[in-house]
Amino acid sequence: MSTYTESIERLIENLIKFPGVGRRSAERIITYILNASAQEVETLAQGIIRVKQNVRLCKVCNNLSEEDLCRICQNPHRNKEIVCVVEKPSDVTAIEKSGSYRGVYHVLLGSISPLEGKGPSDLKIDGLLERVKQNCIKEVILATDADTEGETTAMYLTKVLKPFAIPVSRIGVGLPFGANLEYADSTTLSKALESRRSII
């Protein structure tokens, strides 16, 4: 039987639902909470609620945003003619950190994964095609991960983008197979973007 109080035990059960948080980590977080000031804990709890209430997806690119359009889509200095397609919002953050990209993004919110039963219809692909149809997009850069799912997704996108007759390229040089974009360092990402190869 647990020696913790009922409220601690309940919080542990909730914390271990977080990705990467096991029981030991949950216990450490609770120790931190117990040692922190009431104000700090209040700020933390409010912060979680505020993120949940305010953060939504950008209506254009599906990046995380607190307004209809994310900051990148709103920025008049970004080149709206080049779209970099990524799997998740954290990939946008990784590429932005590299500081070498001035175009806009399209976040698919996943990748094609037959093993997990995820097909093209589970991703935000229609929105991408709609953007290509309606806007003057002159180039699409496929920056999905360098693993099997990412490559499968890139191949599928190449196929559906082909009829639009715009240049489509794939980043890759410098990224080892299996690499997750969000964990690649800025220099590698800059080089991968620079050395993208044309597919169409």
- Rounded CA gap, 32 and 30, in Å? 5
Closest approach of Zn ion to the CB of residue 158, in Å: 23
Using CB under 5 A, list all residues that contact Zn ion. Answer: 58, 60-61, 63, 70, 73
* CB-CB contact of 192 with 174 (8 Å): yes
Q: What angle do CA 52, 182, 148 make, to 5 degrees?
A: 110
Closest approach of Zn ion to the CB of residue 41, in Å: 33
Residues 6 or more apart whose CB falls under 8 angstroms from that of 3 comprise none
CB nearer to Zn ion: give 124 or 191. 124
> Letter for the amino acid at 195?
S
CB nearer to Zn ion: give 24 or 77. 77
Closest approach of Zn ion to the CB of residue 90, in Å: 15
Closest approach of Zn ion to the CB of residue 73, in Å: 3
- Rounded CA gap, 141 and 143, in Å? 6
Element of type H or E holding 107 = strand 103-107
Task: Report residue 66 CA to chain centroid gap.
Answer: 16
CB nearer to Zn ion: give 15 or 61. 61
- Rounded CA gap, 169 and 187, in Å? 19
Closest approach of Zn ion to the CB of residue 25, in Å: 33
CB nearer to Zn ion: give 63 or 169. 63
CB nearer to Zn ion: give 61 or 143. 61
